[in-house]
Chain A
Amino acid sequence: MKLRRLHRRLAVLMCMSGVIAFLSGAGLDSVAAVPTLFALVLALFWQASPNATIRLERVLLGLSILLAGRALYHVFFMPDDVVIPMADLLLLMVGAEALKSLDALNDGRLYSLSFALLIASTAYRPSILFGIAFLAYTALATVALMVGHIRRQVERRGLREPELARSFLLRMAALSGVALAMSAVLFIAFPRVSRGWASRTVTEERAIVGFGDEVSLAEHGGRIYANPEIVLRVEFPDGRPGPSQQMYWRGRSYDHFDGVRWSHSPSLPLSAATTPYAIGWGGLATIRQLIYALSLDTHVLFGLHPIFAIRPRSRIRPFMDESGDFNYFGNVPPVYEVESYAGKPSPERLQRASEGRAPAADFYLQVPPLSDRVRILADSITAGKATRYEKVRAIENYFHTQFGYTLELPATARQATLEYFLFRRRQGHCEYFSTAMVIMLRSIGIPARNVNGFLGGDWNEFGSYLAVTQNRAHSWVEVWFPGYNWVRFDPTPAASETGDRNATAWYWPMRFIFDGAEHRWDKWVLDYDLDKQVDLFHRAAEQFSRPNETGTGAGHGDTPFGTAFRWLIGLIAFGIVLAGARSAFNRPRVSEATRGYLRLRRAYERAGYPNAPSTPPLTFVRALHEAHAPGANHAEKAVAVYVHTRFNNEVLDDYRKEELKKEVDAARKELKRSRSKVTSDK
């Protein structure tokens, strides 16, 4: 293939990598992205003629002016994202440059524009696709820059193009691994001391049904469809806990129900926010969770309940609101560590709980105007139950045994009511069950509230974390127990359809692998910070310093890793020594005659009769004579021996060896004598 065509294709592929990197961050928000991709694909196989290039430029000039005006308008007059209008302009230029004729020397512009797209994509939070595009870009840039440079040199000098074998081009692409390795080293080692003086990272915030400020039961018609998007990735620093199906990832609680929707009371007093410290949970084990959450529009922090410590790992500021829910300030995806009590207090302890009054009890005993049938039903279920715990369990059990679970929504608005659910339909989704239980408990004077979150999750072996999808969205009940605060109960029957369906889907293993990679990308690239850096270096240092517990290592107090590393260093050192010895051994040996001759030349050079390395021996002697150098006659004899031996290809016998040595020594002696004479004269 001609160099210029090869070069253009490589540059176009670089641009494609840049566009894909940009798409991985900004998505399809930019109107020019898809047309540009089409133009780039076209440019791989077709280029405009020089005349057509001129016409193309005229058309694109007008378009560029329009887009530049739009970009300026956004910069100065619009408060929204300015990157998209700028990127549109950039993309248009990329497409136009790629389609130009092969004669156009626009490789520098293609490099710069494609690189600008990479930079533009860093303004977002791109997916792992950015990483793949970056790898491709680096490999392509290595080859394209090289081919482009050769092309320019050849065209400038009017030379014949050199043959560039395909294997050589592939090797060059593989050598981009050096650049990538350098990139990785710098990325890992460069101290992340800066927290961003003027950072701007746009993160798209997602809205999930059921996690807003209000939750409504009024939806009807149709069905709740599965949504496998992952919202939480949870790592357990202390090791994988037991089965995850009973993990309730608590998000928001709601205290006020108007018959149709749940909401937060704006006037909820601060005293409603209770903590689990120094109360009945104390004896339980704790569980640590490191949670990587999706950016949601409600800014809720999820975790196992009850949470007694929360530490941010990304640039967010967590806070607890009046109801004890955890929220945060910040516009980046929340990453945080949570410490909670595992499980919940035993039934015996809850049985013994006293009948105290809950803080802000008025809010948690609020009941909407419903018919008495609800209270009568609750009374009938709890009749004969002495303690609060027994009553709660009776109602919970009632739903477990008498009701069914379905994702089908009620057919009409009239059917989408609590009473219709309790007395007619007797099946529904989790919101109905939790709402019904809360209202029934409140009707018999037990403070309770509705809570939303996620239930369970799917363990990702590839990434060693629990993936919680939107399918896992759930609603349950919290009941107030004096001394224990809010305790979780779940009235929803166990026949959930969602989790199992995910786990058996044919694509699920693939999705796990991809999600595991995405998680690593987020964790180790996008969210890599000083803490992770320090932690990484500590762990690396530990690999060398940690004593060998088994005592089977080669060296006392060595880790197997440290031993292997020492072996590696030793092997490298041995290789270097071997290579040096081989080089020294292969060096052409200087004959004895040559050594004597060089000794003579060095002596005269030091004495102030310098000679060029290229000066032939006889010229050297003649120069000595002309300069009346001391010992010139001896030097001449020595050189004669040298020339005779060297150029007749003879071996220096003992007699000649002796003669050469004698003449060289004599010449040096005379030189020395003349120097000392000059010194004494002075």
Chain B
Amino acid sequence: MKHATSFKIFGNALAFGLIAVSDGIHHPKLFAIPVVLAVLTGADALRPKPRPTTGEDLTIVRQRIKPTGWRARVQQFFRPPRRLHFARSGWAFTGGIFGIGFAALNTANNLLYLLLGGMLGLIVLSGWLSEQALRSLIVRRRVPRGITAGEPARIGYEVTNNKKRMPTLALEVREAGSGQRAFMAGVAPGATSFARADITYERRGIYLLVELTLATTFPFGLFTKERDIELGGTIIVWPRTDRVVRPPMPGGTRARRMGSLAAGAGGGRGEYRGLREYRSGDDPRDVHWRSTARLQTPVVREYERDESDTLWLCLDLRAQPGETAENGVEIAAALAARAAAGGERFGFASADTEVQAGSGAAQLDMVLDALAGARFRPDAPRVVPPAAPSECVLITTGDTDARFGDVYLADRGGA
């Protein structure tokens, strides 16, 4: 970190110095101005980068996003709207400038001054063109409905170049705080290009996406210029659903039905209730074709279900955030996935939220959404079972409740 900071400070000093020299500032006292600026702006490397929020500290979402305090304000004030990093070739080029400059002074050879000016001119041109490349761009983010923790998520970026003549070349887009970048070789004037970045979130949670960083090495690859743009968004990271868990046994009756109810199996339906829009995972045999043809959108029949067929997953949030609590979330996710795969009707409840009973993939998504946002704290209220406790499954970190039909202890995994 210290090395990175000193490099950054040195890099900025060099960059400002070059600008200062090219502006004709030769007085040593005046030269101190860009150096001080460089140190101040380079010092923002000392400030921790905004860390992606995780499930265990979701409160961050409602806490400090912008830095506060005088130091942060000063840094924010001095933080340049663009950041410049030297590429390896940029270091070599800059070294060459110093070499030619020294040679020109040493020999008083006018042609060397000409070459020196040409090299500095290329740097100025590089700065101007890279600035043009980063301007007049409209960026849209394409985030999947939900992604699973530990698996790479493909986030798409759609960049429209609103410039009239100038293409944007060698553009990188990345989320602030993430190392993964989406690269676009070029966006023609007035055109839109699309690129993806594979980002892996290790922990479930609801992540706020605040800023995007646009970067380009255009035109010569000597420097990387970066610019931040505010682009709010949310990404829901679901817990893993592949944890091995034993079948739930609430009320002794569930055991008979578990695993025997395939999607749409006969006898699984109650009274006809009405029509509703098709949701992912619905049995295709339930599609009401006549209404579908009339409304031009898939419509399915919905049936009353016997409440005793519903698997209620109750998550106890009274726990310290940590690995054990996360185990509980994953057990609940695995149970929900298992129920969805079996075509079962299931619902979810915690102290903070309740997902009405349903079935299919869309129901699983809703439960996983709720699990992604689950916030553990020791003072959380006790979970209230939405049905008879004996028909519900409790997932807890330790405080068992004999009223529930089945209890999963988070510290024992799925057993």
Q: How far is the CB of B398 from chain A (nearest CB, A)?
A: 26
- Given A145-B220, A146-B218, A162-B186, decide whether A178 and B125 contact each other with a Cβ distance below 8 A: yes
B68 / chain A contacts, CB cutoff of 8 Å: 610
Is A95's CB within 8 Å of the partner chain B? Answer: no
CB pair B108 A613 closer than 8 Å: no
CB pair A194 B106 closer than 8 Å: yes
Q: Which of B63, B111, B116 contacts A121 (CB 8 A)?
A: B111
Is B65's CB within 8 Å of the partner chain A? Answer: yes
- Given A146-B218, A610-B68, decide whether A168 and B115 contact each other with a Cβ distance below 8 A: no
CB pair A187 B113 closer than 8 Å: yes
Render A163-196 as a binary contact track against B, CB cut-off 8 A, 1 for contact: 1100010011001101111111111011110111
- Given A176-B125, A201-B109, A610-B65, decide whether A153 and B114 contact each other with a Cβ distance below 8 A: no
Q: Can you name 19 A-B residue pairings with CB atoms under 8 Å?
A: A119-B112, A122-B115, A138-B121, A142-B122, A146-B220, A149-B220, A152-B221, A168-B167, A178-B121, A179-B124, A182-B124, A186-B117, A192-B110, A194-B106, A525-B111, A612-B61, A614-B208, A615-B62, A626-B62
CB pair B111 A613 closer than 8 Å: no
A interface list, Cβ under 8 A from B: 108, 115, 118-119, 121-122, 126, 130, 134, 138, 141-142, 145-146, 148-150, 152-154, 157, 159-164, 168, 171-172, 175-176, 178-187, 189-192, 194-201, 525-529, 610-615, 623, 626-627
User: By DSSP majority rule, is chain A's interface helix, strand, loop, or mixed?
Assistant: helix
B112 / chain A contacts, CB cutoff of 8 Å: 119, 122
Render B119-158 as a binary contact track against A, CB cut-off 8 A, 1 for contact: 0111011001100000000000000000000000000000
CB pair B217 A185 closer than 8 Å: no
Q: How far is the CB of B256 from chain A (nearest CB, A)?
A: 42
Q: How far is the CB of B50 from chain A (nearest CB, A)?
A: 10
Chain B: interface residue count, which band?
35 or more
CB pair B167 A162 closer than 8 Å: yes
Render B246-274 as a binary contact track against A, CB cut-off 8 A, 1 for contact: 00000000000000000000000000000
- Given A179-B124, A199-B107, decide whether A186 and B116 contact each other with a Cβ distance below 8 A: yes
Q: Which of B65, B105, B114, B128 contacts A612 (CB 8 A)?
A: B65
Q: How far is the CB of A226 from chain B (nearest CB, A)?
A: 33
B210 / chain A contacts, CB cutoff of 8 Å: 612-614
Q: How far is the CB of B165 from chain A (nearest CB, A)?
A: 8
- Given A178-B125, A187-B114, A201-B109, decide whether A162 and B185 contact each other with a Cβ distance below 8 A: yes
Q: Which of A108, A157, A164, A178 contacts B183 (CB 8 A)?
A: A157
Bound Cα distance A142, B170 (Å): 16
- Given A149-B220, A162-B186, A194-B108, decide whether A610 and B125 contact each other with a Cβ distance below 8 A: no
Bound Cα distance A138, B110 (Å): 17
CB pair A187 B124 closer than 8 Å: no
- Given A196-B108, A526-B110, decide whether A149 and B124 contact each other with a Cβ distance below 8 A: no
For A137, the closest partner residue in chain B by CB is B118
Q: How far is the CB of A169 from chain B (nearest CB, A)?
A: 11
Q: How far is the CB of B164 from chain A (nearest CB, A)?
A: 12
Bound Cα distance A184, B96 (Å): 19
With contacts A142-B122, A614-B210, A614-B233 known, what are 4 further pairs, Cβ within 8 A? A138-B121, A153-B221, A186-B120, A196-B109
Bound Cα distance A122, B128 (Å): 29
Bound Cα distance A87, B30 (Å): 41
Q: How far is the CB of A181 from chain B (nearest CB, A)?
A: 7
Give the interface centre of B62, B112, B220 by most chain A CB atoms within 10 Å.
Answer: B62
Q: Which of A152, A198, A200, A528 contacts B110 (CB 8 A)?
A: A528
For B60, the closest partner residue in chain A by CB is A612
A526 / chain B contacts, CB cutoff of 8 Å: 110-111
CB pair A172 B22 closer than 8 Å: no
A189 / chain B contacts, CB cutoff of 8 Å: 24
Q: How far is the CB of A587 from chain B (nearest CB, A)?
A: 15
B26 / chain A contacts, CB cutoff of 8 Å: 191
Bound Cα distance A180, B119 (Å): 9
